[in-house]
Amino acid sequence: GQNIDQPTEMTATEGAIVQINCTYQTSGFNGLFWYQQHAGEAPTFLSYNVLDGLEEKGRFSSFLSRSKGYSYLLLKELQMKDSASYLCAVTDSNYQLIWGAGTKLIIKP
């Protein structure tokens, strides 16, 4: 079967750095997405990786290792508004998006 694993919940301090991991086992791989979802709102796109390595976008970076079936999202200089769920999703061999259950990130002052 297809499976995406993420930690259920993480806590971090305002101004700090946090890394959210995602491991996947899917039938084929055609790219990995990270989305942010604030409570009661829709998911919004954060990043996309299809090749190994690090993609940086402001305070957010996303890393991919296809051989290990592993990705992480790195959030720097955490702000209170970063409190949200972070969803990892993989495009499989049929170009379907397979979603993880999401990681709820709690930021404390």
Partner 1 sequence: NAGVTQTPKFRVLKTGQSMTLLCAQDMNHEYMYWYRQDPGMGLRLIHYSVGEGTTAKGEVPDGYNVSRLKKQNFLLGLESAAPSQTSVYFCASSSSDRSYNEQFFGPGTRLTVL
CA distance 85 to 10: 10
Q: Which tokens hold the place of 66?
A: 């296809």
77 sits near partner 1 (criterion: CB under 8 A): no
Q: Which tokens hold the place of 94?
A: 């049929």
Shortest distance in whole angstroms from residue 16 CB to partner 1: 26
Q: How many residues bind partner 1 (CB under 8 A)?
A: 23
CA distance 20 to 40: 21
Shortest distance in whole angstroms from residue 100 CB to partner 1: 5
* Site residues (vs partner 1, CB under 8 A): 4, 8, 30-31, 33, 41-45, 48, 50, 87, 89, 91, 95-102
